[in-house]
Amino acid sequence: MKRRNFLQMMAAAGLTAQAPLWAPKVQAAAPDRFLIVVNASGGWDPTSICDPKGLNQAYQDRSDRYEGSTNSVALDSNKTFGSIQWSAIPEGVSNDELVRQRINDQFDDFFTTHGDKLTVINGIDTGTNNHDTGNRFVWSGNDETGYPSLAAYFAASVAPTLPMAYISNGGYDFTDSLVARARASSAGFVSEVADPNSYYDDRGFHFRTANRGVDQYSHIEAAQRARIQRQLDSEPLPLRRKQLQQLFGIRNTDSNLGELTVRLDDLQANVLRDDHWNTNRANSLKSQAEVVVASMAAGLTASANLNFGGFDTHGNHDANAYPDLGDLLEGIHFMMVALQYAGIADRTTVVVGSDFGRTPYYNSGNGKDHWPVTSMLVLRPESSGGRVFGASTTEFLSQPVNLTTGQPDAAGEILTPQHVNRAIRNLMGVGSSSLADNYPLNVPDFRIFG
């Protein structure tokens, strides 16, 4: 058993410190920084977003689609911010010009709005075409089982006792029992957890109304406390007294979940989904973002996984991938606006990635299959000036790069998810935490973030 797990077990059993066993648990201090991981589930295509190759005819021997080109649209020199280049939108995405324009605007608006705080990491070699392995490697830095996800590692390092320290909506979210994993993807779910005795819908008895004008449950809680106290006062057996003291302490613990509903209501009233940017687009991702941002602002959460699927595009790649990529970027933009409104954008780092990449050519069904090279996006409070670290070749193969500059260098090293996870741990201040010895990333430091 790991030492940290043993100490957590002792604490849960009331075996540490000298405070009475009935004392309420002290609410853990809110973290001073936050981490949000956004998983593009299925294996996205970096060449269709942040590492475009254009009509390069690089694989004429592999595909007769677009003469073996990686993309079906040429590079556009206007689609740049700093060192970042993003893809133009192919005509094959849709016969509807308005749809193409919407996606074009989602791409352009995202990179121009957030480019100054964005670092694009290209040419990451995952070494796999397997979904499970790629997902695990990208989000933990280890391709073997057993390592916690990046977000779980962070939460366990900075605030493992928060009521909802780590929220996950899917993707690789293994915790290795370091921290509890909370599922909270919708406002309705959160409201029920925060106040399960409130009256709503067709319940026939008003336990507690929203304005607390009716609050029968407070009387029930008071009666429960009084009953336990009477039992405690009259119980002669030490073991029974200890168990009653623990029950008393648990029922007096304040999880502060009520603050979450207050924050969520405020956020939903003031950061409207359809204002950022399109009506009824990216609603799943926006819903996840609302809950996560509200929970972080309420001091309940340190890290989270957001999950957005649809990227396993073995057929009709352009028509499927580009609309989903546009909605992914819209959802992330909405989250950034919500973080700003909640007052925590200056303390939050957002990492976006996927299982692996897709082939740099089209198959016979105009789709793209699995490919080990991928990219990641990192949005952080500090300005990056629109930086790109790492590189892939014209054929979309990983290039050795200089550890400091990230530029191609024959004497450099190939960038892997292990390097990226190490760099993000260091960026978040947990590279040398007490957990690092149990989950080492024994690779050289790439100066991805300067």
**CA dihedral (124, 126, 130, 132) positive or negative:** negative
Q: Round to whole Å and give the CA distance between 173 and 180.
A: 11
Tens of pLDDT along 275-322? 999 999 999 999 999 999 999 999 999 999 999 999 999 999 999 999
For 445, phi then psi, to 5°, come to: -75, 120
Residues β-bridged to residue 308: 40
Helix (H) or strand (E) holding 84: strand 84-85
For 208, phi then psi, to 5°, come to: -160, 120
Write out residues in the chain with pLDDT < 70, as ranges: 1-28, 185-215, 217, 246-256
Q: DSSP label at 65?
A: G
Strand ranges in 296-407 using DSSP code E only, listed in sequence order: 303-308, 348-354, 357-358, 370-371, 373-379, 387-389
Tens of pLDDT along 80-135? 999 999 999 999 999 999 999 999 999 999 999 999 999 999 999 999 999 999 99
pLDDT at 329: 98
Q: How far is CA 360 from CA 76, 87, 310, in A?
A: 18, 14, 18
Of 240, 248, 203, 194, the residue nearest 221 (C-alpha): 248
pLDDT at 185: 61
Helix (H) or strand (E) holding 121: strand 118-125
For 449, phi then psi, to 5°, come to: -110, 20
53 — alpha (psi -120 to 50), left (phi > 0) or beta? alpha
For 5, phi then psi, to 5°, come to: -65, -40
pLDDT at 3: 40
- If you compute the radius of gyration of the chain from its CA atoms, what whole number of angstroms results? 25
Q: Say if strands 181-182 and 166-168 run parallel, antiparallel, or are unpaired.
A: parallel
Q: How far is CA 95 from CA 75, 91, 233, in A?
A: 21, 7, 77
pLDDT at 232: 81
221 — alpha (psi -120 to 50), left (phi > 0) or beta? alpha
pLDDT at 385: 93
pLDDT at 250: 52
**CA dihedral (323, 325, 328, 332) positive or negative:** negative
